[in-house]
Structure 1
Amino acid sequence: MKMIFRWYGENNDSVLLNDIKQIPGTDGAAWALHDKHPGVVWNQSEIQEAVDWISSHGLNAEVVESVNVHEDIKLGLPSREEYIENYKQTIRNLASAGVKVICYNFMPVFDWIRTDLHKKLEDGSTALFYENNKIQHITPEELIKKITENPEFTMPGWEPERLEHIQALIDQYNDITEEDLWKHLQYFLEKIIPVCEEYDVRMAIHPDDPPWSVFGLPRIISTREDLQRLAGLTASRYNGITLCSGALGAHPENNIPAMIHEFKDRIHFAHVRNVRRYDNGDFIETSHRAADGSVDIVKVIQAYHEIGYEGYIRPDHGRHLWGENCRPGYGLYDRALGIMYMLGIWDTLEKGGYKQ
């Protein structure tokens, strides 16, 4: 497997490329042009500049996370044609700079939801938290204010300019069913996958986070059955998955190791993190250690080892440790610890250890 680390850019991340390079076994940075609005073409010169800067620090830039899908594509509006053509050109431009995988999502309006960015854990660290009851009794506007007030770093998926008219955006989905969203996703994939095949760039859809409907919006990438249906939208293996153990792991019926085995040919990118689930629907993100959460990360890594996974993998959200001032969920320390935990499991398996 190829260990990488998500990086938000020189001016928008507390983590430096030199920091990433010092994490043993870490060879790349998952990056993006975060100032680009959904639907616009990523220019070749801007892409190459970012790739060259990452490469100059001894890291590969082969995974982009994310090229966001314009809302009109998800809604199936006539204007989607222009935005799909722009997306296709961005794929071509990224391929010219050596990008191999594009992570994206098809979640309406929000691409992740939490109710607390700094919920305190028993050890004094803080982490991202989802409180189910609060979601049932809060308006989207109230949630946005809570999440985005006084941010020290911009947070993709919660850009103020994109969410300025949030209720109007949500209202556009009043007549959009899950079946409609599936049809719109299929249309999008049928248009772009031939370009991906021609330029050897794999698409890797990220699951819904959390993996259920929020604020009445349709969500369609939440379960094993959803991933089966996704794979059936087009036979091409360029239509693939970012298998996130945390997003899918928030749903108690999702068996992550079994999914890894079943969808091994479609997993182009892997996010590994742990969550502790509660019976009332709440969940909090924890350390990567299996004993600290509800997802057995040892079995997750073991499953990747068993399928001979050679794709890209990264630690996902981490706790905030030791007074670190960082983007919520994306500090250096806990994600670096997560890498060492994952590689420790992998190295043990490579040496024939960890017998059940």
Structure 2
Amino acid sequence: MRMTFRWYGENNDSVTLEQIKQIPGVEGLVWALHDKMAGEVWPLEDIMKVKEQADRYGFHLDVVESINVHEDIKLGLPTRDAYIENYKESIRNVAKVGAKVICYNFMPVFDWTRTDLFKEMEDGSTALFYEKAKVDSMDPHELVRQTTSNAAFTMPGWEPERLAHIEKLLKAYENVTEEDLWEHLQYFLEQVLPVAEEHGIQMAIHPDDPPWSVFGLPRIITSEAAVERFLQLSNSPAHGITLCSGSLGANPENDIPKMIRRFHDRIPFAHIRNVKVYDNGDFIETSHRSQDGSVHIADVVKAYHENGYTGYARPDHGRHIWDEKCRPGYGLYDRALGIMHLWGLWDAYELEAKRRQS
């Protein structure tokens, strides 16, 4: 397991590279050009600036998250080919700084969806929270207003410029079915996978968050069966999945350790985090400890370890603790704690394996 840490850049993150450097075992940054809108080519000059920053602290840039997919591609519009060509050029450019994995998603309109960015927990910390009944009854415009007005930082998937066209986007998806979305995803992959493969990059799709339809929009990467269907779209070595235990874990029917054991050789990137799911369908993000949430993180890590996982991982989201002022879900303290918990589990499984061998 190769540990990484998501970083939003010098001007858009409360966490510094100096601080990340002090977290044991973190070797690389999970990065992106967050000022670029979906569909734009990532200029090599801008990419090189990130590399220069990472090089000063000895971090690699092996994992990109995310080069966002333009909505015209998801909608299957005639204009998609131009945006796909731009995507290919961005693949070529990130390869020049050593990128090995590109995490992306195919969620229409909204990426991750939450109703409260700072829900207070019993211990006084706060965390990202999803209230199912509220989403089911809410006007999507209201969710956009609440999410963007309460955020101190620009958040990928929720940029004001992107959401300014929310009415038009929702209208465009009115007649798009899940099968249409599968077809449009396959078309996209047929175009970009050969380029990724040529440059030694693995495209790793992120599951839908949450893993069910929101506001009537189609979502397709939601379950073990969906992951199986997705992986069958191509046998290219560049075709894989970012397995996010928190996104898929929001549905209690998803057995995350089982999925890891089944698909481990197609998971170049792992997001490891916990969520507590309530009987009414609500969920909140918790610490990484198994007993604090509904995902058995100890078994998640064990599933990776017993299959000799050598891919990249990150602690994904964390709570907001010790009065830290940070991007929702992306503070320093709880993610650092999460990393140490993951390393503790990994070390214990390593010791156990050595004892069995002796």
- Given the two structures, how large is their TM-score scaled by the length of structure 2? 0.98
Distance in 2, matches of 1:263 and 1:333, equals 31
Distance in 1, matches of 2:51 and 2:222, equals 32
Q: How does 1:139-178 map to 2 (within 5 A)?
A: 139-178=139-178
Q: Alignment partner of 1:265: what SS?
A: helix
Shift of 1:237: 2.4
Distance in 2, matches of 1:19 and 1:220, equals 37
Q: Alignment partner of 1:103: what SS?
A: strand
Residues 176, 354 of structure 1: CA spacing in aligned structure 2 closer, same or farther, 3 A cutoff?
farther
Amino acid paired to 1:81:
D
Structure 1: any 5+ residue segments left out of the alignment? Answer: none
* 8 A Cα contact 1:55 1:61, kept in partner: no
Amino acid paired to 2:126:
T
Shift of 1:243: 0.2
Q: How does 1:125-136 map to 2 (within 5 A)?
A: 125-136=125-136
* 8 A Cα contact 2:151 2:328, kept in partner: no
Aligned residues: percent identity? 64
* 8 A Cα contact 2:54 2:61, kept in partner: yes
Q: Deviations over 1:217-264 (max 9, x none)?
A: 000000001100111111112111000000000011100011101111
Q: Alignment partner of 1:276: what SS?
A: strand
- Given the two structures, how large is their TM-score scaled by the length of structure 1? 0.98
Shift of 1:354: 12
Match of 1:23 in 2: 23
Distance in 2, matches of 1:26 and 1:293, equals 24
Amino acid paired to 1:326:
C
Match of 1:67 in 2: 67
Distance in 1, matches of 2:186 and 2:165, equals 27
Q: Deviations over 1:65-106 (max 9, x none)?
A: 000000000000000000000100110111111111000000
Q: Alignment partner of 2:113: what SS?
A: coil
Distance in 1, matches of 2:234 and 2:128, equals 35
Residues 354, 157 of structure 1: CA spacing in aligned structure 2 closer, same or farther, 3 A cutoff?
farther
- Size of the aligned set, in residue pairs, is 355
Distance in 1, matches of 2:354 and 2:320, equals 30
Match of 1:36 in 2: 36
Distance in 2, matches of 1:76 and 1:8, equals 30
Match of 1:90 in 2: 90
Q: Alignment partner of 1:242: what SS?
A: strand
Structure 2: any 5+ residue segments left out of the alignment? Answer: none
Distance in 2, matches of 1:170 and 1:353, equals 52
Amino acid paired to 2:184:
H
After the TM superposition, which parts of structure 1 deviate over 4 Å for at least 4 consecutive aligned residues?
A: none
Q: How does 1:4-23 map to 2 (within 5 A)?
A: 4-23=4-23
- Confirm whether residue 263 of structure 1 aligns to residue 227 of structure 2: no
Distance in 2, matches of 1:256 and 1:160, equals 33
* 8 A Cα contact 1:84 1:188, kept in partner: yes
Shift of 1:165: 2.4
Match of 1:229 in 2: 229
Match of 1:285 in 2: 285
Shift of 1:150: 4.5
Match of 1:79 in 2: 79
Match of 1:240 in 2: 240
